[in-house]
Structure 1
Amino acid sequence: MVKINSVSGQQRLRQLAKMQLGNSVVSPTEPDTAPEPAGHGQFNDKHQQLAARSGAQSSHLSLAERAQRRLQMQRERQQHNLERVIAQALEYCPDTVSGQEVDPDWFTQFCELTLDISNASMQQLWAKILAGEIASPGKFALKTLHTLKRMSMKEALALQQAAALSCRTRQDPTPRIYFGYIRRPSLWHFLTGRSRALLNLNQFGLSYPQILSLVDIGLLHSSEIESGELAYGQQLHWQYQQASLTGTVSSKNVVLQYYKYTASGAELLPLVTREPHQAYLEALKTLLRTTIRFAG
């Protein structure tokens, strides 16, 4: 049994930050005080702004001084990014957490990986991970953190699209995306010539290039997966978003096809916001109606 600690999630996070970073975190309600380079508001040209941020704009400084200025500005931006992630995590921390402490090595690597995360949406993902780890230490593997570090905003949007089509089964809680079935060779196959039926996931917002990108960064397994041959009369129980779906296998020699999330993908999936895609669910039920009889 996990011991529940009376300390709140916010208190635990503040204690952790003070112990590991030497200072507490700012309140999430405090205004964003991102460090601005000197003269930032005086430039209209974006290239000049970038030059100022790099430290190369100050021509009156020596080469060594410009390099030092750039490094100082970089450190300030990184510190700002880290503090914004931790401050946002306070908003997601639960009132109560387990008595187990967060692994300090995990937190150290978390901090290092967030230093260069400046996109607001990506910072939000990192904040949710930290809050989740505070609530339940060990929930997110270090491998998942390194996977998220590689993820671009474009890939995060692809994950969001994939999440809208994902479901779980009672037998295996790892989420998956169903897209078709194969009927093993049988008399029915020889008579009808129909052995496979597929959904075009692109119709429901998830393109094949997006699938490949999720495979490339390690969120989906690299190949399409086939279920074992379904037994006639077998009961299927799927959880699609908040809806439960129950069906009975009504045909023999049927194998379902799906994309399956990796362990890292399964850990990250609950963090992205998504709405049920009713059109996809109805299309999937229609596709499978000759092989599975759904209740309701």
Structure 2
Amino acid sequence: MNQEKKDTQSTVEAAAVPTVKTVKEESNTHIRSSRARTKELANQYGICHLISNSDKELADRTTARVQREAQHQQENLERIFKLAYDSCSDETAGEPDPDWLYHFSSLAKNIRNASMQKLWSRILKQEIISPGSTSLKALETLKNMTQREAQIFQRASTLTCHFGNDSSKKLLTGIKIRHSVLALLRSPSSDKLPLGNYQLPYSNLLVLMELGLLLRSELESGEINIESPLAFGYQASNYILKPTKKGVTLTYYRLSPTGQEIANLLGTRNNEPYKESLMELLCKHFIVEQGDSSQITLST
């Protein structure tokens, strides 16, 4: 009887003690090895014969892979056209060029990322409404962009402005003040607007230059005449700039023609922290008026 009681007690105590996994065992349940991931990808793309030792013939394996790829491409195109359809309303439609549509479809069929599919649907919609809006070069550039590169360009687009009679989008980098004739020996002073503070460091600018979306040279505007106010726009907001001194110029990078096309597809979207810094910089060197002629005064 005593032995039976001891056995029962031992069983209860054993059940009460939880099984403790080591850190290594715990992590292995959540982390896939590169070997396992490679096999998953091979299965996903129908090229796992030598890994899995399947008994299917080469011709059958090829047919299955091509069919699977064609199905994915069909699904991609259907999603893009559906997104374009859903975003359309009663706008007057044009007649897109058949060659453009063929080229568009041949590129868009391989776009699987959801956010990129949405962008391609905007291109399609714009081309239906206004044929010739997007060049084949812009399509090729978009096709070759990774998701990370697209995100960099999207961030850059939210920082673009335009000024004067030129509606092209630019990234303002600062204001330069050239000194009077009496101070010719002094170098112009600069008041910079650091784009790196808004998730667009110089390394990102180099990426956009490499993609052909941003011109490589930093440019400088002509001197802004005190007697001739300068029209200035940031996203959907319009202003008039009146210099408070002579010798003021703007420094900037300009989007390339291809960059302009793609940026126009993204529409307008403010980056509020950047806009605050932009207005602060402009108000140091200009009298800034909004489109309704009301003057902007920054609180101190």
Q: What amino acid is aligned across from residue 196 of structure 2 in structure 1?
A: N
Residue 241 (structure 1) aligned to one of 235, 245, 248: 235
Shift of 1:227: 1.0
Alignment match of 1:95 (pick from 72, 84, 90): 90
CA–CA separation in structure 2 for the residues paired with 1:247 and 1:229: 13
Letter in 2 for 1:205: Q
Task: Give the C-alpha shift of residue 190 in structure 1.
Answer: 6.0
Could you tell me whether the CA contact under 8 Å between 1:81 and 1:114 is conserved in 2?
A: yes
Pairwise CA distance, 1:192: 7.4
Which residue does 1:217 correspond to in 2?
Answer: 211
Partner residue in 2 for 1:52: 43
Work out whether residues 93 and 132 of structure 1, in 8 Å CA contact, stay in contact via their aligned partners in 2: no
1:63 and 2:54 equivalent? no
Residues 233 and 204 (structure 1 numbering): CA distance in 2 closer, same or farther, change over 3 Å?
farther
Measured in 2, the distance between the counterparts of 1:227 and 1:170 equals: 10
The superposition leaves residues 112-145 of structure 1 with CA deviations (integer Å, 9 ceiling, x where unpaired) of 0112111111011000100111011111111111
Q: 1:38: which partner in 2?
A: none
The reply on whether 1:162 has 2:156 as its aligned counterpart is yes
**Aligned residue type for 2:67:** Q
Q: Identity over aligned residues, as a percent?
A: 36
| 8 Å contact from structure 1 (residues 158, 206) kept in 2 | yes
Match of 2:80 among 78, 85, 96: 85
User: Residue 122 of structure 2: which of 128, 150, 153 is its match?
Assistant: 128
- Alignment-derived partner of residue 8 in structure 2: none
Structure 1: gaps (5+ residues): 1-44
Q: Please give the alpha-carbon distance, in whole angstroms, between the structure 1 residues aligned to 2:250 and 2:156.
A: 18
Distance 1:171 1:108 in 2: 36
Structure 1 residue 114 and structure 2 residue 105: aligned? no
Task: State the SS of the aligned residue for 1:175.
Answer: strand
The CA deviation at 1:187 is 4.9
Query: 1:52 is aligned with what amino acid?
Result: N
Q: 1:134 to 1:184 in 2, by over 3 A?
A: same
Distance 2:243 2:125 in 1: 41
Aligned partners of 1:285, 1:254: CA distance in 2, in Å?
16
TM norm structure 2: 0.76
Q: Give the alignment's Cα RMSD to 1 decimal.
A: 2.3
CA distance in 2, matches of 1:218, 1:85: 25
Deviations 1:135-171 (A, max 9, x none): 1111111111111111111111112211221122351
Please tell me whether the aligned partners of residues 176 and 188 of structure 2 are also in contact (alpha carbons under 8 angstroms): no
CA 1:158/1:195 → structure 2, altered by over 3 Å: closer, same or farther?
A: same
Counterparts of residues 137-148 of structure 1 (less than 5 Å): 137-148=131-142
Deviation at 1:63, TM superposition (A): 2.7
> Which residue, 273, 282, 286 being the options, matches 1:279?
273
Q: 1:74 aligns with which of 69, 73, 79?
A: 69
Q: Secondary structure at the match of 1:255?
A: strand
Say which of 214, 231, 252 aligns to 1:258.
252
CA offset digits 1:65-94 (Å, max 9, x no partner): 222322221122112212211121111223
Deviates more, 1:163-172 or 1:256-265: 163-172
Greater Rg over alpha carbons, structure: 2
Name which of structure 1's ranges 284-293 and 211-220 shifts more when overlaid on structure 2.
Answer: 284-293
Q: Is the 8 A contact 2:179 2:188 kept in 1?
A: no
Q: Of the two structures, which has the highest relative contact order with CA contacts closer than 8 Å and spacing of 6 or more?
A: 1
- The normalised TM-score by structure 1 is 0.77
8 A Cα contact 1:53 1:73, kept in partner: no
Q: Residues 240, 288 of structure 1: CA spacing in aligned structure 2 closer, same or farther, 3 A cutoff? A: closer
Q: Which runs of 5+ in 2 are unaligned?
A: 1-35, 290-295
